[in-house]
Amino acid sequence: MEIDQWRREYVSGGLSRADLCDTPLEQFDKWLQELAPAGLSDPSSMILATADANGRPSQRVVLLKGYGDKGFTFFTNLQSQKARDIAANPQVCLLFPWHALDRQVIIYGRAEELDRQEAQAYFQTRPRDSQLAAWASHQSEPVESREQLEKAFLQTRERFPDEVPLPDFWGGYRVVPDTVEFWQGRASRLHDRFMYLLQDDGSWKVERLSP
């Protein structure tokens, strides 16, 4: 079959205005809690889209590590491509592609660097090898070979035989949303789309979008 003939109907359900919570955070939490029964793998995976100072976009998969009234958090090397992009242009977009339920959540907002205390608290919860990998990898930089990367990892293990400290080049970001879209696939491509828009008084306006 040719690729332009690959298609299926989205019949997992619908979304009405009456179904929606008052805030996008409540709605996000509601949908997130419905993922476990669906058996979705990596439900915290999200696509982070950034753009550099020249407007060149890039995307990558990162893991959501927390969410709340202040926003959505993730952690990374602060010298990585994504971090350099955010320094030049803090406006970012997050996408949760929850295909098992024919759903997407798209979050637009501003990325703000977390303080060192928050980064330290999360870093301490990581498995030891993940902590070591944060030191060994110069994320987004060229590396000569896999062997060189593994050598750096082993050297880091010898350097820190006990507790692994938080690298000064590693931390996290919080994406503070101003627009959030909830997308529910429907048959015949008549999808349900609702967008929450942050108002000046801190409330959220909800609009239905054409599919």
Active site residues: 189
Distances from the Cα of 169 to the Cα of 4, 37, 109, 112, 166, angstroms? 44, 38, 24, 16, 8
Torsion sign over Cα 132, 136, 139, 143? negative
Mark the binding-site residues, compressed into ranges.
Answer: 7-10, 60-65, 75-76, 82, 104, 122, 126, 130, 139-140, 183, 189-191, 193
CA 157 from chain centre, in angstroms, equals 29
Whether the Cβ atoms of residue 198 and residue 204 lie closer than 8 Å to each other: yes
Q: Give the burial string for 98-124 (b: 16+ CB within 10 Å, else e).
A: beebbbbbbbbbbbbbbeeebbeebbe
Using alpha carbons only, what angle is made at residue 178 by residues 109 and 113, rounded to the nearest 5 degrees? 35
Residue type at 64? L
Residues 6 or more apart whose CB falls under 8 angstroms from that of 38 comprise 100, 101
CA 39 from chain centre, in angstroms, equals 19
- Partnered with residue 70 across adjacent β-strands are none
Mark the binding-site residues for substrate, compressed into ranges.
Answer: 7-10, 65, 122, 126, 130, 189-191
